[in-house]
């Protein structure tokens, strides 16, 4: 991996982490188009640069987190089932799902269909609850649904937003909750991979430079995306992301078919 490739991957991470399009899915495909193999360093790199996206949310919502202890407590309740699933299925996810392109495309498209179905249903017209109305049982339910995002293509943000919409929470509030929930979720994943693969990172000083480039790029791009997404959801729904998923899955499927 060189600096240009690290910059592109950092940009992809920041642009997709908080949108319901699966950052993991986009990172895997971006690396493929950049000609990067799934090396041990790259796997660690893709997880660690999430810290840049975390920093962006902290910069934007630090006061909200500090001033609303109940909200952050609920976020921690949501984090528990996600962390449990992640720890139990860590090796299976890394060794099987990250390398199965067909499964990724199938999941990516199916979630897009779910977006379209939900927005077409009557549910989308009944979103009236705010974050303050979320109960601890609601928070645990959201964490269970977020746990599905361990599969590349699902999208952590998308799973959280859809689960909160099911609970009749307004889209922009659901997005805010997904942003804050990302802090413990992504931080835990980053620290876990960092500890397991610290020798890989420290084996070459150039690795630290690449990590720095990825972190800074993901921070700046995530900062822009979070601000834009909140404004977008005030007057739009998720259908555009559903159609995007279907179109992207179709094009990438054709790419696989004709590149053999």
pLDDT at 217 (0 to 100): 96
Please report the pLDDT score of residue 42 as a whole number: 78
Residue 148 is predicted with a pLDDT of 80
Cα separation, 23 vs 21, whole angstroms: 6
- pLDDT at residue 222 in the model: 95
What's this model's pTM, rounded to 2 decimal places?
Answer: 0.87
CA distances from 255 to 19, 24, 32, 143, 241 (A): 24, 19, 12, 35, 21
Give the residue extent of every domain in the chain. 3-258
By the 8 A CB rule, do 214 and 27 touch?
no
Please, what is the angle between helix 50-67 and helix 171-196, to 10°?
130
User: Can you give the pLDDT at residue 187?
Assistant: 81
The values of phi and psi at residue 126, to 5°, are -120, 25
pLDDT mean values, one per 10 residues, the chain (260 residues): 93 94 89 81 81 91 87 92 77 64 87 92 81 93 87 87 92 92 82 66 72 94 94 90 95 84
């Amino acid at each position: 991996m060189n600096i240009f490739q690290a910059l592109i991957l950092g940009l992809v991470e920041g642009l997709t982490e908080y949108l319901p399009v699966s950052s993991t899915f986009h990172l895997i495909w971006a690396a493929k188009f950049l000609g990067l193999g799934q090396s041990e360093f790259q796997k660690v790199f893709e997880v660690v640069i999430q810290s840049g996206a975390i920093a962006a949310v902290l910069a934007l919502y630090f006061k909200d987190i500090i001033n609303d202890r109940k909200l952050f407590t609920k976020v921690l309740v949501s984090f528990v089932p996600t962390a449990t699933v992640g720890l139990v299925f860590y090796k299976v996810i890394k060794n099987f799902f990250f390398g199965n392109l067909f499964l990724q495309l199938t999941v990516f498209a199916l979630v897009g269909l779910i977006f379209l179905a939900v927005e077409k249903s009557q549910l989308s017209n009944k979103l009236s609850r705010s974050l303050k109305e979320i109960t601890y049982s609601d928070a645990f339910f959201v964490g269970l649904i977020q746990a599905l995002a361990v599969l590349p293509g699902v999208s952590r943000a998308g799973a959280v937003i859809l689960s909160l919409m099911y609970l009749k929470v307004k889209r922009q509030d659901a997005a805010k909750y997904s942003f804050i929930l990302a802090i413990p979720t992504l931080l835990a994943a980053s620290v876990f991979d960092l500890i397991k693969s610290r020798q890989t990172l420290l084996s070459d000083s150039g690795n630290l430079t690449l990590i720095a480039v990825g972190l800074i790029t993901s921070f700046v791009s995530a900062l822009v995306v979070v601000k834009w997404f909140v404004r977008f959801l005030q007057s739009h729904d998720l259908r555009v992301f559903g159609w995007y998923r279907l179109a992207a899955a179709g094009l990438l499927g054709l790419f696989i078919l004709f590149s053999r």
